[in-house]
Structure 1
Amino acid sequence: MPGKRALILVENLSVPFDRRVWQESQTLRDAGWDVHVICPQGTKRDREPYVELDGVKIHRYPLVAATGGPRGYVKEYGAALWHTLRLARKIAKQGRIDVVHACNPPDLLYLVAKVLKRQGTKFVFDQHDLCPELYLSRFAGRGEDALYRAVCRLERATYKAADVVISTNESYREAAITRGNMDPEKVFVVRSAPVIERFQQVEAEPELKKGKPHLLCYLGVMGPQDGVDYALRSLALLREERDDWHAVFVGAGDTFDEMVALAGKLGLDDVVEFTGRIPDEDLVRYLSTADVCLSPDPHNPLNNVSTMNKVMEYMAMSRPMVSFELREARVSAGDAAVYAPANDEREFARLTARLLDDPEERMRMGKLGKERVEGPLAWSNSQKALLAAYATATS
């Protein structure tokens, strides 16, 4: 599409730190699109208000992350919406925008799209999360209250405004078709996939195991719905049976400090290490050395139908993993994981122990996972779906 301009909107991560958005931006650039991205500034990286990286023009705004429950998110999202609209209008003055591509959460960015649609811009809704399920999972004690109902209305309004919907998996596509009343021919599955070049095995470093025979590894965000607390309680149960392992938790998030405190409360300080966010080269060192990886996302309305990036990244590194029983976890990992019944911490610990004792099974599972991310789950397949979605939107 030479000469066409695309504007991608994302609120919850900076770019290029948001790997999915960065992959989409590069795919569109390679197809001839002039790509602009509006996103928040990062906390430690991606700080420049404007930068052009590899031909992608990135416009960033300052944003303070939410604290204090739902009210904090209302404040965060309101500020993000104002900045996004301000920058979108500025970019639109420089030339026609053919497609505005909004990535949720929140389901508020359709308001920016509606402003641009008055000028003939098409709206592609890239649904990273099902926000009603996200609300129920993150604020479980509130139930289907007035704010939940408002979240549902915003999702319906976003579907109604969309010319095309991009879903991360078939569960999300089903939601767009059934409760969003979208034409199935206008809903495309663009699965998130790891950047294979980023995940190349290096020689294992036994010293990372801190003198133990085995290393367990968790990689990912640490938020209320991510299950790090389930993993820690499972490890406390595992330690009652054996102490031949060291565990490392890589990543950060809203509950990072809380999880460090929980590890101390459970008496795991000497066997559990929290690294925070680390450079890619260090991440690869840990994953190359890990014997078993942990995917402890508990069963809840959101996790059951979501594709976990950590699962894909473990497979890219040929690592076997333990997961709770989740619909989309099985779709992604297949036999590259073993599955504990939903939220059963003792069974999660037992399956972890089983894999530690079976190196041949670990190798078999790792090989299967690698084959999946290099085959049916490869980004090359998602690239075709993304370009088909854009072709449909602009036809």
Structure 2
Amino acid sequence: MASSSGEVGRRALLIVENLSVPFDRRVAQEARCLHEHGWTVEVICPRGPDGPGGYDSEPEADVDGVRVYRYPLATAGRAAGYLREYSVALLHTLRLAVRLRLRGRIDVVHLCNPPDLLFPVALLLRITGARVVFDHHDLSPELYLSRFGARQDVVYRALRALEWLTFRSADVVLSTNESYRAIAVGRGRVDPRRVHVVRSAPAPDRLWPGPPDPSLGRGARHVLCYLGVMGPQDGVDHAVHALARLAERRDDWHAVMVGSGDARPAAEALVREYGLADRVTFTGRVSDERVRSVLSTAAVCLAPDPLNPLNDVSTMNKIVEYMAMGRPTVSVDLTESRISAGEAAVYARPGDPEDFAALVDALLDDPERRRRMGEAGQARVRGDLSWESSKEALLAGYAQACGKGQP
């Protein structure tokens, strides 16, 4: 396998702006994979939060043989703050990239979006001989439309232009699913032979079922779980609306909401407004061990991501993680969610919390169906959706970027 990704001694620089590493699981897995196949791997990313519950806060760290360089960054809470955030991030990234280049040749620079503003760094390193891999994590134009309820205005058109420039700067594109691949080939005008689908999949050594923790239910018979980021586009408020409808049907459940983000305070306020404070627990971000415990206990997992231009074509990491743990899922009916989960989920009509609640209610009354759905999900994660399959595509993309593949 090592020979397919390049010779020992090649050097790769991975750049990510919107999450720290290794908190960004996808980037951490890719970096570790490359390191295991003979590459010297370095990562530039922002620092995580300091203080209680903080993570990834050291300026430099060694993570599984990968050297990570982190810079301080205050993330934007409003649209107007994004220009400042991205400008500061770009300056720090340029500074660190030049510093690392002065230490020796960089063979591949690996850009991860959002935002689509990192291509100037790639172009600078290309002058010195680096090849460029674009890891297409998010659709920034659709993210703008979905997060802010915006129209296809001048900002949207600017984001489309930046996305196109990022595609044009790349020798190889890594897409997270077939929908993103179609966008790279279509509006990105990328040669389809240079686009590789590298799905985000949980590492086998991170998530596995374990013993349940009955205390999570706080006396209730069933535990429900939401796991993931809580941004405006993630639908945590939709989940709360559905839980309020579920409370009208039955009272033998407790919901554990794992994760955090901009939308968490509003979701907690909505829980209190519905009078569900004793039925819903928000944990914030927790350790992998705690995630395994919650998912091992959950009877049903929730994927309330609403239908919008971004979500419909994006792979929800939470769904794949639920599947890896053998948990049945209730999801909003989205194109890529159906492709990922198949029979491991049931699908609610978009924008219909009553339908979502009815599906949860039915699954809680049908343990045999929950078991079958869990088994179906685990089978998919071990097969087409496995990290082993994605590793093959990642290494093939790197081989092609280095001139060892076609075209």
Shorter-normalised TM-score: what interval?
over 0.9
Name the residue aligned to 1:179: 187
Q: Secondary structure at the match of 1:196?
A: coil
Number of the residue aligned with 1:276: 284
2:176 to 168, 175, 179: 168
Q: In the aligned structure 1, how far is the partner of 2:64 from the partner of 2:84?
A: 33
The aligned counterpart of 1:51 is 61
Alignment counterpart, residue 254 of structure 1, candidates 231, 240, 262: 262
Q: State the match for 1:22 in structure 2.
A: 28
- Cα deviation for residue 147 of structure 1 reads 1.2
For 1:361 and 1:100, how far apart are their aligned partners in 2? 46
Greater displacement, 291-300 / 253-262: 253-262
CA offsets per residue over residues 313-367 of structure 1, 9 Å max, x none? Answer: 1011100010011010011100000001122111001000000000000000001
* Unaligned stretches of 5+ residues in structure 2: 1-6
Matches within 5 A, 1:224-263: 224-263=232-271
Using structure 1 for the length normalisation, give the TM-score: 0.98
Indicate yes or no: 2:86 matched with 1:80.
Answer: no
Q: What is the identity, as a one-letter code, of the residue corresponding to 1:61?
A: Y
Counterpart-to-counterpart distance in 2, 1:205 and 1:34: 41
**RMSD value over aligned CA atoms?**
0.8
Instruction: Name the CA distance, whole Å, in 1 between partners of 2:12 and 2:211.
Output: 41
Q: Give runs of ≥4 in structure 1 deviating > 4 Å.
A: none
| Matched ranges for 1:57-68 at <5 A | 57-67=67-77
Tell me the amino acid that sits aligned with residue 47 of structure 1: S
Q: Secondary structure at the match of 2:261?
A: coil
Match of 1:123 in 2: 132
Question: Separation in 2 of the partners of 1:198 and 1:392?
Answer: 30
| Per-residue deviation, 1:54 | 2.0
Indicate which of 342, 349, 356 corresponds to 1:334: 342
- 1:311 aligns with one of 310, 313, 319: 319
Q: Report the Cα distance in structure 2 between the residues aligned to 1:87 and 1:377, rounded to whole angstroms.
A: 34
CA deviations 1:248-286 (Å, max 9, x no partner) are 100011111111111111211110110101111111111
Partner of 1:4: 10
1:154 partner letter:
L
Aligned to 2:48: 42
> % of aligned pairs identical?
58
SS at match of 2:134: strand
Residue correspondences, number: 393
Cross-structure match for 2:210: 202
What is the CA–CA distance in structure 2 between the aligned matches of 1:96 and 1:286, rounded to whole Å?
45
Cα distance in 2 for partners of 1:144, 1:357 equals 44
Please say if residues 236 and 264 of structure 2, whose CA atoms lie closer than 8 Å, have aligned partners that are also in contact: no
Cα distance between partner residues in 2 of 1:254 and 1:70? 12
Which residue of the partner structure matches residue 221 of structure 2? Answer: 213
Q: Look up the match of 1:354.
A: 362
What displacement does 1:143 show?
1.0
1:379 aligns with one of 369, 376, 387: 387
Map residues 118-157 of structure 1 onto 2, 5 A cutoff.
Answer: 118-140=127-149, 142-157=150-165
Superimposed CA distance per residue, residues 37-92 of structure 1 (whole angstroms, 9 cap, x where no aligned partner):
0000000111111112221011100000102x221111111111110010000000
Relative to structure 2, which stretch is displaced further, 69-78 or 232-241?
69-78
- 1:100 CA displacement: 0.3
User: Structure 1 stretch 336-345 or stretch 358-367: which is displaced more?
Assistant: 336-345
Could you tell me which runs of 5 or more consecutive residues in structure 1 were left unpaired when the two chains were aligned. none
What does residue 99 of structure 2 align with? Answer: 90
Alpha-carbon separation, structure 1, partners of 2:82 and 2:263: 16
**Partner SS for 1:124:** strand
Distance in 1 of aligned mates of 2:44 and 2:213? 40
